[in-house]
Amino acid sequence: MATSYPVDFPVAEGLEIVTIVRQGQVKAKLSTFSHRVWVLQGFAQKVGLGNPEDGSLGEPIPDMSLLTSQGVTDPVDVLEKVCEAHKAGVTAQFAVPWALLLKWALGELLKLAKDLGI
């Protein structure tokens, strides 16, 4: 049986990623961090590439957003602002910069995996 993509924008998971990073706990909470990144990645894939379970085709994934065009380029800050906006019900103004967020998050995981010899 296939694992389904997340249905809703992963606000809680995104904010937990932000907290873990800002507390400098990525290595100490590696399993939690990696799981939350996996959920975020799954949602991004569903949005951008479509969902084979329901036949949706996906939407173009923008590289930049209103936030990044205003100078907010730190991936942790971008993730926090996008999650807070979604939590508040404000989604139409934000094109989520998935490429920026996933490149950063997956890069962090790869660095840690290399450090741990995984």
Whether 62 is in a domain gets the answer: yes
Q: Which residue has the tokens 């205003």?
A: 70
Q: Which domain holds residue 98?
A: 11-112
How many structural domains are present in the chain? 1
56 has which bridge partners? Answer: 51
In a domain, 63, yes or no: yes
pTM of full prediction above 0.85: no
pLDDT in tens, the chain (118 residues): 678 899 889 999 999 999 999 999 999 999 999 999 999 999 988 888 888 888 787 766 554 455 556 666 788 988 898 898 888 887 655 567 777 888 888 888 888 888 888 7
- Residue indicated by tokens 């990696």: 34
Check if the beta carbon of residue 81 is closer than 8 Å to that of residue 68: no
